[in-house]
């Protein structure tokens, strides 16, 4: 046990220098970096949500077979072909 106790005493006495100021600066830099990263991630997520919702609300009517555009509406109401629709829409 003697050797073990000597060893533990050496461990207790072992010194390692700490440059507290330098470490604090590094920690501050990392904190700022992580905050910036979080802001970017949040911005990215909101951007994707916005783009996704724009695409969704513009594409959905076509997928569900609705008649959301003027051309569709005119075609459905009057049973016109493409040329007739163009004439109808752009007629003076």
Partner 1 sequence: MDFAGIYADSKDKVWKLVSRYVLVREDREDLFQEIYLSVHRALPRFRGESSIHTWIYKITVNTAINYAKKQSRYKWIKKMLGGLRTIEEEVQDIATDIQTFKPLEKLNPWQRMVLLLSDVEEKKLEEIAEILKIPIGTVKSNLHRAREIIKKEVKKNGEL
Give the binding site for partner 1 (CB under 8 A). Answer: 1, 3-4, 6-8, 10-12, 14-16, 18, 20, 23-24, 26-27, 30-31, 34
Report the residue number, 26 or 36, with the smaller CB distance to partner 1: 26
Quick one: tokens of 88?
Answer: 């109808």
Residues 71/85, Cβ–Cβ less than 8 Å: yes
Report the residue number, 18 or 91, with the smaller CB distance to partner 1: 18
Question: How far apart are CB 15 and partner 1 at their closest, in Å?
Answer: 8
Q: Is 14 left (phi over 0), alpha (psi -120 to 50) or beta?
A: beta
């Amino acid at each position: 046990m003697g050797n073990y106790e000597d060893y533990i005493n050496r461990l207790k006495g072992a010194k390692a220098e700490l440059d507290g100021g330098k470490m604090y600066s590094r920690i501050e830099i990392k904190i700022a970096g992580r905050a910036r990263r979080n802001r970017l991630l949040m911005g990215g997520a909101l951007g994707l949500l916005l783009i996704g919702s724009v695409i969704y609300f513009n594409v959905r009517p076509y997928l569900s077979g609705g008649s959301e555009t003027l051309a569709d509406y005119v075609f459905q109401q009057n049973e016109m072909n493409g040329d007739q629709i163009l004439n109808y829409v752009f007629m003076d």
